[in-house]
Chain A
Amino acid sequence: MTQGTEYSTTSVSLGSGIEDQPLVVGPYTLKSRMIIGTGKYESFEVMQAAHEVSQSDMVTVALRRVDLKNPDNNLLNFIDTKQMIILPNTAGCYSVDEAMKVAELVLELGLPKLLKVEVIGDEKTLMPDPLGTHEVTRRLAAEGWTCMSYCSDDIVLCRRLEEVGAAAVMPLGSPIGSGRGVLNPTNIRLIKEFAKVPIIVDAGVGTASDCGLAMELGIDGILLNTAIAKAGNAVAMAAACRDATRAGRTAYLAGRMEKRMYASASSPLKDF
């Protein structure tokens, strides 16, 4: 896995001889279509084990004040940066100015111009602020940033984010940390149908089947944190979500049958 401007020419194996293209976001090529987080785990050790099992190659992080009582409690010591691209987020920002400040801090931390743009508009639902998200994406994309913009599942908003330069558009399935799955699959399908950049469903996954259902809609990837971190066994859930993401993608590529109103016998009805 190389981090840089080279596109991978190799395809990704989904098993059983089925090949897929990698997920390409701006200059980044990801073999896994599942992006995972680093928040809410019971320990860094459990997180590290879950990361390893997930086979993800991108992980989100947040930027916050250092806990001065535990200066050695360093998240970075538990992320395999040779295998995983760090995707910093602007979580917790409620304004354009705050998010722009986080972008500056990202560079100051020696990270590349890659950001999950997240501007929150409502404290209780953590619903993103569409106008703020749009403005931050527009400004940062103009400065050469690879913006992965977290937004609501609005078809026109997603198109507008693409137009101002988002490298990936990330509509939510349901509110952050709610575990309610993809509440509006019709919107997600329509968003994907019109998009030229990758569509990654971000937020709302509660369990493995949510990954599968989301990927079957034809989206390019899925981003989840709480479903794994807050599972009874985070490592096992990481494995389940990994397999479900792959299964959903494979099912999408396979092409599902049409839904019917009435039965259609699977066995021949005559020639007994």
Chain B
Amino acid sequence: MTTAGGLAHPHYTMNVRLNGEKREIEPCTLAELLEQLGLHERRVATLINDEIVKQDARSLTQIKENDTIDVIAMVGGG
């Protein structure tokens, strides 16, 4: 299930859980996903299956079927 496989099957999608919600996404890296979400320029932290994926590893990290992805940022708090 690589990006190449995705090209061979253009409608192939994967089920993932993104920030707590079920989503169907096309195969991509974590960096590509952030770009699709419009978050590539924002200061965020990322986790896949509860493990932190460091910023420089995002473009090397392929998202897999059933992955749980969390994108974390600073929000209002006291």
Binds B, one of A103-111, A209-217, A252-260: A103-111
Given contacts A65-B19, A68-B19, contact A176 B78 (CB under 8 A): yes
Is A64 in contact with B75, judged by CB distance below 8 angstroms?
Answer: yes
Tell me which of A39, A64, A110, A177 contacts B43 (CB under 8 A): A110
Question: Quick one: which of B25-78 are within 8 Å of A by CB?
Answer: 37-39, 42-46, 52, 54-55, 70-78
For residue A9, give the distance in angstroms from its CB to the closest CB of chain B. 32
Distance, CA A76 to CA B75, complexed state (A):
8
Which of under 10, 10 to 19, 20 to 34, or 35 or more describes the interface residues of B?
A: 20 to 34
Which residues of the other chain, B, contact A63 by a CB distance below 8 angstroms? 45, 72-75
Known contacts being A72-B38, A105-B52, is A60 close to B77, with CB within 8 Å? yes
Q: How far is the CB of B78 from chain A (nearest CB, A)?
A: 3
Interface range on chain A: under 10, 10 to 19, 20 to 34, or 35 or more?
A: 35 or more
A224 to B77, CA, bound (A): 10
Asked whether B42 lies within 8 Å of A39 as measured between CB atoms, the reply is no
Contact status B77-A37, CB under 8 Å? yes
Complex-state Cα separation, A72 to B58, whole angstroms: 21
Which of B45, B52, B76 is within 8 Å of A40, CB to CB? B76
